[in-house]
Structure 1
């Protein structure tokens, strides 16, 4: 018996946002139907570094997926990636190890695809402008996923590190025909944006922008922040927005904006809408053009499970990767 080894380039070679968004929609529908096994995320803190374990099984025939990842905030100063990860797929019946995948690339791609699904469901159909706050690897996947579901003509970029913003802007220009503007502040970036993706590694409870800069009709994907204290969006904004999360239980303990909004009394747990309820028709999507919508993501294991299973199946079909015997 062999195990398929998939590198980051292997994962990317078989990945498409359209397929990934469909897979995630199906996975979250399964979650609402009770067809998902997903234990709580395990977290070990070693100084400022977090080591996380995430596991899930979606549906009845899919593989069981386990991801081991680390988040090291000081890695930027070391010229190392913020996130390192590996993903293991096991046969749900026999427990046989089917595949090992490089996990950081898969994490970035599935996080982007998750914002793509949220944008498809929540952003105005006529949205044409996008602001991206942050200029790392996640910013690239956010852009690609949003462009897969909306016709983006103009992109505004802001990063706390101007050189990274300039580098990212050049990459955007090489990948699309959208006009790109680098801004000096986050407020400048969102001033003309219909859709905003927050993809930062902030650890601060101080939001990236003031609440007064959030206009009617905007849609936000907030996927960054390194812990449950970090806030990319002003928590008060949740009180006047339609706020969607992956899983209410996870958001209540891990999403900084949600935790602070509850403390301030501007929202309640019952007002948080699970995205699976929208996918399955139990809850509405955007109700009107003026509504402010927020998708707050903390990342849950079924995202990894859905995308890893998809990538594995496509890699088998395409003959991508290397088979090795772990028992040889």
Structure 2
């Protein structure tokens, strides 16, 4: 590869073939947030645009990461209506530049990486915030994200035995159950409604589409004492009472979270306690006892994408994967 005259392209298939381990990504993100806590990362809040209608959005996510000598951009879209067209809900690209010269080094498909890192950041949050003896997990929304979410919490909480799954599309639950039972040897129970999924759950993950004007369903009274909640779909599934029922709320980045409040999200969410950088660095405490209800609202931060993309790039170089394109 000739730096400056060629750029490496990595497709969805290239990235999937690397078989990146979830535990490895969780550890990478833990190290990356520690770098952020030490002031060594410049991770900007998302820039968000809404083409055509409010529930479609495209984000620009930018980060400079000196530890890996790279700067990166993820340009990622989420279009809920794409499923009806046979297209992915999430799609996009990541570009990494050499930090010394500014020269682009690699362009890669962003969907696979986004699914992996979104699961991993939930896993990292669960490491500090979920009960160590958690036995059951509820997953609402059985799409691509649900699969990596389950993989991540199983990596952190191996004692999980029961998965309760709900989706408005019953066929999606069936397919999810078949795949996850075969892959992870866990029992997946079909929930007929959100309440049946959530009640009694030690870990509750909502993985539906992100919408600007949500119609949330999760009530505070459904939340078991000691549970850990992870809404990866912003505030789309959770009612005001559920946010108010939890003892503490963490996010992956406070400034980015507050910028999204200004966009109209999270109006029902009380003040947050802190973010992942404070948590992994020990500046803030994690779970104090088994009765606390705790939530992590991780919006997805650019440092997560750039750190994992750097890992993907280096693995691809070692395995001589990808296609060289002239600049």
Report the alpha carbon displacement of residue 83 of structure 1 after superposing the two structures with TM.
1.1
Tell me the residue number matched to 1:309: 310
Q: Secondary structure at the match of 2:268?
A: helix
Report the alpha carbon displacement of residue 257 of structure 1 after superposing the two structures with TM.
6.8
Tell me the residue number matched to 1:27: 32
The 2-side partners of 1:60 and 1:148 are apart by: 26
The correspondence for 2:170, drawn from 162, 166, 170, is 162
The correspondence for 1:112, drawn from 119, 129, 133, is 119
Alignment length (residue pairs): 315
Q: Secondary structure at the match of 1:30?
A: helix
Report the alpha carbon displacement of residue 202 of structure 1 after superposing the two structures with TM.
4.6
The 2-side partners of 1:79 and 1:208 are apart by: 27
The 1-side partners of 2:190 and 2:178 are apart by: 10
Q: What are the Cα deviations for residues 201-235 of structure 1, in whole angstroms up to 9, with x where unaligned?
A: 1524332311110121101111014xxxx432223
Contact residue 166 and residue 197 of structure 2 kept, 8 A: yes
Tell me the residue number matched to 1:134: 141
Q: What are the Cα deviations for residues 267-293 of structure 1, in whole angstroms up to 9, with x where unaligned?
A: 33xx42111111001111100000011
Under a length normalisation based on structure 2, what TM-score does the superposition of the two structures give? Answer: 0.91
Pair 257,190 (structure 1): closer, same or farther in 2 beyond 3 Å: farther
The correspondence for 2:215, drawn from 203, 206, 218, is 206
Q: What are the Cα deviations for residues 85-137 of structure 1, in whole angstroms up to 9, with x where unaligned?
A: 11111100111211111101111111011111111111111012111100110
Q: Secondary structure at the match of 2:76?
A: strand
Tell me, which stretches of 5 or more residues in structure 1 are unaligned?
A: 262-266
Pair 89,207 (structure 1): closer, same or farther in 2 beyond 3 Å: same
Deviation beyond 6 Å, 4+ runs, structure 1: none
The correspondence for 1:244, drawn from 244, 250, 258, is 250
The 2-side partners of 1:233 and 1:160 are apart by: 16
The 1-side partners of 2:39 and 2:50 are apart by: 31
Tell me, which stretches of 5 or more residues in structure 2 are unaligned?
A: none
Tell me the residue number matched to 1:283: 284
Tell me the residue number matched to 1:11: 15
Contact residue 218 and residue 242 of structure 2 kept, 8 A: no
Tell me the residue number matched to 2:275: 274
Q: What are the Cα deviations for residues 134-166 of structure 1, in whole angstroms up to 9, with x where unaligned?
A: 011001110111111111211110001111111
Please provide the CA RMSD for this pair: 1.7
The 2-side partners of 1:31 and 1:82 are apart by: 30
Report the alpha carbon displacement of residue 296 of structure 1 after superposing the two structures with TM.
0.4
The 1-side partners of 2:66 and 2:29 are apart by: 12
The correspondence for 1:218, drawn from 227, 230, 235, is 227
Q: Secondary structure at the match of 1:200?
A: coil
Under a length normalisation based on structure 1, what TM-score does the superposition of the two structures give? Answer: 0.91
